[in-house]
Structure 1
Amino acid sequence: MIKPRLSAGVPALVAVAACALLAGCSVEAHVGTSTPKMSKEKVADKIATTLAAQTGQPKPDVTCPEDLEGKVGATGRCTLTASDGSSLGVSVKVTSVEGKQMKFDIEADKTASPAPGN
């Protein structure tokens, strides 16, 4: 009997999804401009750092296509990519902005997309 084998990336995505869905991950960061906006690189880094700390896993590869506006209710989408190429969408929503300090919640999609070609 042939048994399907899960790649190493899938358990990591499951752990990240559990964190983002169950723990209601919240991220706090300082914004470097007079008009609050966080660069897409900084948003991705904050998400990766938060998920790694909460799951005990290595820092995942997270990319965000655009900067996050520092306005309560502003949203964005990012992508977490596992080492096997599978990916998981991550929603970002700004919950507060005080001066140059922005807080946002993150929520991972419930299912991962398989690696290209699978």
Structure 2
Amino acid sequence: ATTGQPKPDVTCPEDLVGKVGTTTRCKLTADDGSTLGISVTVSSVEDKQINFGIKADETASPAAN
């Protein structure tokens, strides 16, 4: 919403276990078909709430033709 772009499609290969330090790699696919890798890391767990940090790769991959 802050970028003025539609909500992207984000897929992850597995559920993220609620344990501090656990990480997974996900893929964001934009409307134009380009993709961006994302690292997701559990930063804290409070009762049943899992908090996590997200770091996107520096460079996106262009859409496949």
TM-score normalised according to structure 2 size: 0.89
- Unpaired runs of at least 5, structure 1: 1-51
TM-score normalised according to structure 1 size: 0.51
1:96 to 44, 47, 62: 44
Higher percent of residues as helix: 1
Matched, 1:74 2:58: no
1:113 to 56, 61, 65: 61
Q: How does 1:1-118 map to 2 (within 5 A)?
A: 52=1, 54-117=2-65
Give the aligned residue type for 1:90.
I
Q: Which runs of 4+ in 1 moved over 2 A?
A: 54-57
Larger radius of gyration: 1
Deviation at 1:98, TM superposition (A): 1.5
Count of aligned pairs: 65
SS of 2:43's partner is: strand
Q: CA RMSD in A?
A: 1.2
What is the match of residue 38 of structure 1? none
